[in-house]
Amino acid sequence: LQALKRKPDLFLCSNLDVKAVFQCGVLSLKFPEAPTVKASCGFFTELLPRCGEIAPVGQVVHENGKALLQAVLEGIGGQASRSLMDNFAEILFALNKHCFSLLSVW
């Protein structure tokens, strides 16, 4: 998360598998440990605003965003601790703000 804040063009590295990083983040949303889930939520709230400016990120979100939305809704629906609801809400807000057309399709 800190690396993404400081150097968002990290996702432009040719040897970085953006899809794998995205999928690890989605899986982390389902972990039982609150600090892990919170960090993963923070990762997505930093990543999603970059959908339009970093092509590899936009492509991965376009192709795999439905899985992210499903994980967020499962967390809100009871899988995650109530103390994490604000963190999940931030992801929904970022999806709504930066990926609205995709969000409505998912």
The CA-atom distances, in angstroms, between 49 and each of 5, 34, 58, 76, 81 are 11, 24, 10, 21, 25
Q: Are 71 and 95 in contact (CB under 8 A)?
A: no
User: How confident is the prediction for the chain on average, in pLDDT?
Assistant: 88
pLDDT in tens, 27-75: 999 999 999 999 999 999 989 998 888 888 899 999 999 999 999 999 9
Per the listing, tokens 């040897």 go with 15
pTM to 2 decimal places: 0.86
Residues 9, 10, 14, 17, Cα dihedral to 10°: -130
Which residue type sits at 47? L
Q: How confident is the model at residue 7 (pLDDT cuts 50, 70, 90)?
A: low
**Beta strands in 21-92, from DSSP E residues, in sequence order:** none
pLDDT digits (tens, 9 = 90+) for 91-100: 999 999 998 8
